[in-house]
């Protein structure tokens, strides 16, 4: 057997072994949370657990910390909206703030994965350190009412990641923000 074919088979076996041992997150990427037990509500975010592929649900009013290590012009928030009746009937909207300063609103999102960009105020762009981010959703659902889980608390979206960066290149039409 050739060395190339042997290496290819070994690589495929290792890839499949990695897929069999799924790695689940316990907090959204980019969010700085104090140590919290699995499935706890911390700042409006429900932490995940070792067997929870849906990390991490956010409530309608979440406030948490995000590390900013370099100059940046934007806050990027990636959310997933499940195909539940509430979000099929009505689209989701998100209002964002950093350090208590309103950044704006983004809407109208149906089920799926979405990346929302918010322009940072000039004085925040050069700052480094840990900054407080707040996200307020316009719609929420209660899993037990929609028969998708036992929880009787409202959830608004799955928070996938939050980061600071320079994403706007001056080519985007900002009229989509409402």
- Residue 112 sits in which domain range? 23-176
43 located within any domain: yes
10 located within any domain: no
The confidence score (pLDDT) of residue 102 equals 97
Cα(47)–Cα(49) distance, integer angstroms? 7
17 located within any domain: no
84 located within any domain: yes
95 located within any domain: yes
8 located within any domain: no
The confidence score (pLDDT) of residue 9 equals 36
- The CATH number of residue 169's host domain is 2.60.120.260
Total domains in the chain come to 1
Low-confidence winner among 1-10, 13-22, 54-63, 130-139 (lowest mean pLDDT): 13-22
Q: What is the mean pLDDT of residues 22-38?
A: 72
pLDDT at 129 over 70: yes
Global pTM?
A: 0.77
DSSP notation for the chain: --HHHHHHHHHHHHHHHHHHS----SS-BTEE-----TT-EETTEE---TT-TT--EE-SEEEEEEEE-S--SEEEEEEEE---HHHHHS-EEEEEEETTEEEEEEEEE-SEEEEEEEEPPHHHHT--EEEEEEEEES--B-TTTTTS-S--S-B-EEEEEEEEE----S-S-GGG--
Who wins on pLDDT, 68 or 10? 68
């Amino acid at each position: 057997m050739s060395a190339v074919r042997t290496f290819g088979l070994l690589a495929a076996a290792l890839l499949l072994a990695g897929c069999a041992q799924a790695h689940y997150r316990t907090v959204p990427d980019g969010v700085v949370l104090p140590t919290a037990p699995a499935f706890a509500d911390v700042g409006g975010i429900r932490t995940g657990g070792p067997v929870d592929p849906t990390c991490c649900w956010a409530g309608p009013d979440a406030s948490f910390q995000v590390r900013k290590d370099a100059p940046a012009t934007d806050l990027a928030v990636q959310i997933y909206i499940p195909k539940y009746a509430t979000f099929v009937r009505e689209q989701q909207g998100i209002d964002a703030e950093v350090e208590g300063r309103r950044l704006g609103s983004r809407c109208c999102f149906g089920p799926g994965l979405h990346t929302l960009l918010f322009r940072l105020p000039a004085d925040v762009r050069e700052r480094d350190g840990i900054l407080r981010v707040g996200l307020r959703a316009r719609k929420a659902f209660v899993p037990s009412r929609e028969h998708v889980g036992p929880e009787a608390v409202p959830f608004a979206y799955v928070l996938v990641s939050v980061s600071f960066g320079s994403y706007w290149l001056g080519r985007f039409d900002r009229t989509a923000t409402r």
